[in-house]
Amino acid sequence: MVENLLISSLIAGWLTFLLAAYAVFARTGSKIGRGFPAAGLVLVIALLTYYIVARSAELGHFPAFCWRDLLVIFAWSFTVILVVTFFRRGRPVIMAGGLVPPVILLTLAVLATPREVVPESFFFKADLGLHVIVSFLGYAALWLAFLSGGFYFVLERGLKSKKVDHYLRILPPLDDLDRLFYRASGVGFILLTLCIFSGAHFLRRLTGQWWSWDPKVVLTSITWLIYAVILHQRAVIGWRGRRAMLLSLLGVLLIVMTFVGVNVLFPGHGSSLLGR
Amino acid sequence: MNQLYMLGLSHDDVPVKIRERLGLDADQVNRLLHTLKVKSGVEEVCILSTCNRFECYYSTVEPKAARRQLNQILADISGLSEKKLDGAVRLRRGEWAAAHLFRVSAGCDSMVVGEPQILGQVKDAYGLADRQGTLGPVLRTLFEHSFRSGKRARSETPIGEKPVSVSYVAVEFGRRIFGELHQAKILVIGAGETALETVGCLKREGVRNILVANRTASRAQSLAKKIDGKPLSFAQLPQVLQQVDIVISSTAAKEPVLSRTMLAEAAEGRKGRALFLVDIAVPRDIEASAGELSGIFLYNIDDLKAQAEQNKRERQAAIQAAGQILHGELEAFKRWVAERQVAPTIVRLRQKLLALGEQEMVDFFGTSDNAAEQAKRKEYTRRLVERLLHEPSVALKKLGSERGGLLEVDAVRRLFKLEE
Say whether domain A1-116 belongs to CATH 3.40.228.10: no
Residue A112: is its pLDDT beyond 80? no
pLDDT at residue B187 tops 90: yes
Q: What is the pLDDT of residue B382?
A: 92
Average pLDDT, chain A: 82
Residue B234 counted as domain residue = yes
Q: Which of A262-276, B195-209, B215-229, B294-308 has the lowest mean pLDDT?
A: A262-276
pLDDT at position B196 over 50: yes
- Regarding whether B391 and B291 lie in a shared domain, the answer is no
Mean pLDDT to the nearest integer, B51-63: 89
User: Does the structure show a pLDDT above 80 at A269?
Assistant: no
B169 to chain A: closest CA residue = A164
Task: Tell me whether residues A175 and B307 touch, CB distance under 8 A.
Answer: no
- How many other C-beta atoms lie within 10 A of the C-beta of residue B386? 13
Q: Which residues of B touch A (CB under 8 A)?
A: 155-156, 158, 161, 172-173, 175-179, 270-274, 291, 294-295, 297, 299, 303, 306-307, 310
pLDDT digits (tens, 9 = 90+) for A56-105: 888 887 887 777 888 899 899 999 988 887 776 667 888 889 999 999 99
Picking from B270, B297, B307, the nearest residue to A163 by CB comes out as B307
On whether any CB of chain B is under 8 Å from the CB of A173, the answer is yes
Task: Report the distance separating Cα B106 and Cα B94, nearest Å.
Answer: 19
Q: How far apart are CA A146 and CA B368, in angstroms?
A: 87
Q: Of B109, B137, B156, which marks where a domain is finished?
A: B156
Question: Is B207 inside a domain boundary?
Answer: yes
Query: Does the model's ipTM exceed the 0.95 cut?
Result: no
Has residue B320 got a pLDDT over 80?
yes
**B292: closest chain A residue by CA:** A160
How far apart (Å, rounded) are the C-alpha atoms in residues B55 and B23?
Answer: 10
**The pLDDT of residue A194:** 93
Query: What is the number of alpha carbons within 13 Å of residue A130 lying toward its C-beta?
Result: 13
Measured between CA atoms, how close is A36 to chain B, in angstroms?
Answer: 18
Which tens digits make up the pLDDT trace of B282-300? Answer: 888 899 899 888 889 999 9
Assess A264–B contact: CB distance below 8 Å, yes or no: no
Q: Report the pLDDT averaged over residues B228-241.
A: 88
Tens-digit pLDDT profile for residues A166-185? 777 788 898 888 888 888 99
pLDDT at A124: 61
Q: Judge whether A121 and A205 are in contact, CB under 8 Å.
A: no
Nearest CB among A175, A236, A237 relative to B177 is that of A175
* Domain match, B345 and B298 both: no
Whole-number pLDDT of residue B83:
85
What is the reported pLDDT for A114? 66
Q: B174 with B284, same domain?
A: yes
- Do residues B141 and B20 share a domain? yes
Q: Tell me the CATH number at B60.
A: 3.30.460.30
Q: Whole domain around residue B77: which residue ranges?
A: 4-156
Catalytic residue annotation of B: 51
Residues B25 and B151 placed together within one structural domain of the fold: yes
Instruction: Tell me whether residue A104 is exposed, middle or buried, using C-beta atoms within 10 angstroms of its C-beta: 0 to 12, 13 to 18, 19 or more.
Output: middle
Residue B420 lies in a domain: no
What number is the average pLDDT over the span B163-183? 87
The yes-or-no verdict on residue B392 having pLDDT over 60 is yes
pLDDT for A263 beyond 50? yes
Answer yes or no: do A162 and B303 touch at CB < 8 A. Answer: yes
CB pairs under 8 A between A and B: 53
Same domain, B34 and B102: yes
Among B162, B177, B296, B325, pick the best mutation site for testing chain A contact (most A Cβ within 10 A). Answer: B177
Interchain contact A119–B (C-beta under 8 A): no
Same domain for B109 and B232?
no
Q: What is the per-residue pLDDT for A276?
A: 37
pLDDT interval class at A121 (50, 70, 90): low
Count of residues making up chain B? 420
In this prediction, residue A162 has a pLDDT band, given cuts at 50, 70 and 90, of: confident
- CA angle centred on A253, ends A250 and A257, rounded to 5°: 135
- Residue B79 within any structural domain of the chain: yes
Which chain B residues contact residue A168 at CB under 8 A? 176
* Same domain, residue pair B176 and B152: no
Better-predicted residue by pLDDT, A274 or A43: A43
Question: What's the pLDDT band for A193 if we cut at 50, 70, 90?
Answer: very high
- The whole-number average pLDDT for the span A201-223 is 83
% of chain A with per-residue pLDDT over 70? 84
Average pLDDT over residues A202-229: 85
Judge whether A31 is closer than 8 Å to chain B, CB to CB. Answer: no
Contact present, B105 and B23 (Cβ < 8 Å): no
What is the number of domains present in chain B?
3
> Which CATH number do you get for residue B281?
3.40.50.720
Q: Which residue has the higher pLDDT, A26 or B258?
A: B258
Of the candidate ranges B1-5, B49-53, B220-224, B387-391, the one whose mean pLDDT is the lowest: B1-5
Measured between beta carbons, which residues in chain A are less than 8 angstroms from residue B274? 174-175, 178
Is A269:A128 a contact under the CB 8 Å cutoff? no
CB atoms inside a 10 Å sphere around CB A273: 17
A246 part of contact set with chain B, CB < 8 Å: no
Q: Would you call A55 exposed, middle or buried from its count of C-beta atoms within 10 A (0-12, 13-18, 19+)? A: buried
**B205 falls within a domain:** yes
| Region of poorest pLDDT, from A191-200, A225-234, B220-229, B402-411 | B402-411
pLDDT per residue over B260-286, tens digit each? Answer: 999 999 988 888 889 999 998 888 889
Q: What share of chain A is helix, strand, coil (3-state, %, to 5)?
A: 80, 0, 20
> Rounded mean pLDDT of B110-138?
89
Phi-psi region of B366 (alpha: psi -120 to 50; beta: other; left: phi over 0): left
Identity of the residue in A155, A176, A240 whose CB atom sits nearest the CB atom of B295: A240
On the question of pLDDT at B401 being above 90, the answer is: no
Q: What is the mean pLDDT of residues B155-182?
A: 85
Residues B113 and B210 in one domain: no
Does residue B323 lie within any of the structural domains? Answer: no
Nearest to B3 by CA among B40, B57, B55: B57
Domain borders along chain A are 1-116, 128-276
- Contacts of residue B325, defined as CB under 8 A and 6 or more positions apart, other chains included, come to B106, B149, B152, B153, B156, B157
B80 and B202 housed in the same domain: no
Q: Is residue B208 part of a domain?
A: yes
Give the C-alpha separation, A160 to B249, whole Å. Answer: 18
- A241 Cβ under 8 Å from any chain B Cβ: yes
The verdict on B127 and B199 lying in the same domain is no
Contacts of B178 in chain A (CB under 8 A): 173-175
- Structural domain includes residue B49: yes
Residues B212 and B132 in one domain: no
Kindly state the average pLDDT of the residues A24-49: 80
Mean pLDDT computed over B67-89:
86
Three-state DSSP state, B230 = strand
Residue numbers in A near B176 (CB within 8 A) = 155, 159, 164, 168-169, 173-174
- Which residues of chain B have a CB within 8 Å of the CB of A172? 179
**Contact at CB, B307 and A162, closer than 8 angstroms:** yes
Asked if pLDDT for residue A187 goes beyond 90, the answer is yes
CB contact (8 A) between residue A240 and residue B294: yes
**Among A46-55, A233-242, B228-237, which is the least confidently predicted range?**
A233-242
